[in-house]
Amino acid sequence: MTPQHIRLGLFGFGCVGKGLYEVLHQTTGIKADIKKICVKNRNKKRSLDASCFTFDKTDLLNDPEINVIVELIDDADQAFDIVSTALKMGKAVVSANKKMIAEHFEVLFSLQQQYQVPFLYEASVCGSIPIIRNLEEYYDNDLLSSVEGICNGTTNYILTKTALEGKSYAEAVKEAQELGFAESNPRLDVQGFDPKYKLTILLAHTFGIFVKPEQVLNYGIHHMNKHDSNFAREKGLRIKLIAHTSRSGDEVKAYVLPRFIRTDELLYNVNNEYNAALVQAQFSDRQFFVGKGAGSYPTASAVLSDISALQFHYRYEYKKTFQKNRMVFSNDFPLQVYVRFSNEKVLDELQVVNIKQAFGSKTYNYVIGQVNLDRLLAFNPNEREDVFIGII
């Protein structure tokens, strides 16, 4: 098959956009060039000639020569407007915007079917790891039993610093911000929203179902304290923020929660800004992928792999969504958790049962027991400062 020549219209020239520009100019094997770049800020100094840029999105969307739109802007609402318009005009689209995709997933899915155009977004989940492409290889939803991973580089960096260098949570956050990993307001990362958006995308490619982000529990690491870190260290465990989905029969559960990882687990050595994905499938058994989850070049390389696939008219098949034996999403699943608390009433609220361990002192109390996922969702743990919960 002769590769299609790609003429790109690029939205956004930040960290990833610049990375893509450089990557495209250093690789000679891909027949693609950027025709125009649409940016927002008229006063910013830029590394390229002014003629490369426009401030009018229609310059890109209405240009019949541009056959692929690459959307790499921050604003999820504007991104959706650009992406949906481009699809309606029959242009293929590549995006890395997990929030936008997670929030508008069903509409974006329908637009691809209606206008018969590809929409690729490998860079939106786990950066450089080709996880979506890999999941697309599994054609039947009952062939997969679980997908889980470390999908957020910022929190993994913070957790690595607290675990390996004995830093406090606050120190580690500050360091991550200074290095540019964490935003000045790191809420989306440390409360687990960012990995949840990614998990929502994985759900569609794993079990063929579209789930609204608000249906899925996301709980982060911002309430972790030194007692929790010490508990992990003493038991030879490491706390990691895990996005998880698995099925029992036709019922699918999903959540983002901290988990205590054992030393013999593959996830144990995934440190700093690295991401990982663990796929359990019927025939290929367990597959494990590790790669950089963020950063200019790793993300740009995932965008590049989508562009290169579009040369050969690749598109996601969403076969699992079209299958008859559809899966049902549910939060009615028990989880074994560690709960650190100051007020015992928390245990009643969470309806902790089957308590296997309990520890109490003046400054530190915890139990290990069983909690139902829907109970945890109702508890809204991100807003409970005196509690830390992790799967164990």
Residues that bind a copy of itself (CB under 8 A): 1, 19, 23, 26-30, 128-130, 134, 137, 139-140, 143, 264-266, 268-270, 274, 281-292, 295, 297-298, 300-302, 304-305, 308, 312-315, 319-320, 323
Measured from the CB atom, the residue of 61 and 237 that comes closer to a copy of itself is 237
- We find the least distance from the C-beta atom of residue 23 to a copy of itself, in angstroms, to be 5
Token couple for 184: 């000045």
- We find the least distance from the C-beta atom of residue 76 to a copy of itself, in angstroms, to be 25
Q: Which amino acid, 5?
A: H
- We find the least distance from the C-beta atom of residue 278 to a copy of itself, in angstroms, to be 9
Residue 223 has phi, psi (to 5 degrees) of: -105, 5
Q: What is the DSSP letter of 123?
A: G
Give the residue numbers marked as catalytic: 198
| CA 36 – CA 70 distance, rounded (Å) | 11
Helix (H), strand (E), coil (C) string for 242-299: EEEEEEECCEEEEEEEEEEECCCCHHHHCCCCEEEEEEEECCCEEEEEEEECCCHHHH
Measured from the CB atom, the residue of 28 and 361 that comes closer to a copy of itself is 28
| CA 216 – CA 195 distance, rounded (Å) | 11
- We find the least distance from the C-beta atom of residue 47 to a copy of itself, in angstroms, to be 18
Measured from the CB atom, the residue of 284 and 357 that comes closer to a copy of itself is 284
Between the alpha carbon of residue 176 and those of residues 150, 169, 181, 189, 280, the distances in Å are 17, 11, 5, 11, 32
Measured from the CB atom, the residue of 230 and 282 that comes closer to a copy of itself is 282
* Angle 13-16-20 from CA coordinates, rounded to 5°: 85
- We find the least distance from the C-beta atom of residue 268 to a copy of itself, in angstroms, to be 7
By the 8 A CB rule, do 190 and 303 touch? no
Measured from the CB atom, the residue of 60 and 72 that comes closer to a copy of itself is 72
| CA 85 – CA 284 distance, rounded (Å) | 39
Residue 318 has phi, psi (to 5 degrees) of: 50, 40
Measured from the CB atom, the residue of 303 and 347 that comes closer to a copy of itself is 303
- We find the least distance from the C-beta atom of residue 279 to a copy of itself, in angstroms, to be 9
Measured from the CB atom, the residue of 85 and 128 that comes closer to a copy of itself is 128
DSSP reduced 3-state for 85: helix
Which among 377, 392, 23 is positioned nearest to 212, based on CA atoms? 377
- We find the least distance from the C-beta atom of residue 45 to a copy of itself, in angstroms, to be 25
β 6-11/32-38 pair status: parallel
β 251-261/328-329 pair status: parallel
Q: Which runs of consecutive H residues, i.e. helices, occur in 144-192?
A: 153-164, 169-178, 187-190
